Amino acid sequence: MRTLELAGNTVPVLGQGTWHMGEKGHQRSAEIAGLCLGIEQGLTLIDTAEMYADGAAEEIVGQAIAGQRDKVFVVSKVYPHNASSAGIPVACEASLRRMNTDYIDLYLLHWPGTYPLTETVEAFERLREAGKIGAWGVSNFDVRDMIELNNPRCATNQVLYNPEQRGIEFDLMPWSADRHLPLMAYCPIGQAGDLLYHPALHEIAKRHEATPAQISLAWVLRQDNL
């Protein structure tokens, strides 16, 4: 699998997301098993957030990475309303407890909020210096937000991107490429996989003897900066 450098680490370009995991208790074992299987197959980047299932997704991640933490690059995200100098360390400690780990490889601001970005970044930097996180970044930032952020320590910007949602191609993608800032795409097969039912995707998949998911993922990963 192709890899790239992210926050000083070599990671696979394709990772595992956990949105909606932890919402249904009876699926917990299957979700843990799915993440473990993904790790075995080389999908060692796992993305989660304190928002997902009110922290239950992070608990799923914690159980999946137990005994193999050193193999996995964990990404989690903090709520904007927790992104203050006082709120971020509390939120981070809660995420660490849920995942039963002593560090998060990459910690993101989930979307722009009301706290000054300088305050959020200072809190991120204190966590990094304390060894609680390896690096920090942002999510759902547009070019204007990135210009306001104006910080070279930002490791990535996680954004919506798939064959139907292509807005970042107009400005954010070239802006980020010019600055060698990797983007991390979420929902590459649509939200909850809804894009997999698109007739055009099925037609292309049939033509190439592939699945709709393979086509959609290959389409997203054709970009060097993703």
The answer to whether residues 201 and 163 touch, using CB atoms and an 8 Å cutoff, is yes
List 52, 107, 115, 161, catalytic entry: 52
Contact 4, 13 (CB under 8 A): yes
The DSSP code for 26 is G
Structure tokens at 198: 């698109």
Three-state DSSP state, 158: strand
Residue 52 annotated to the active site? yes
CA angle, 43 then 176 then 20, to 5°: 40
HSE at residue 108, side-chain half, CA atoms within 13 A, is 24
Q: Are 110 and 160 in contact (CB under 8 A)?
A: no
* First-to-final CA distance of the chain: 14
Specify whether the CB–CB gap between 197 and 143 falls below 8 A.
no
What is the C-alpha to C-alpha distance for residues 111 and 159, in angstroms, rounded to an integer?
10
Instruction: Name the residue with tokens 């970005």.
Output: 117
Distance CA 95, CA 67 (A): 18
Catalytic residues: 52
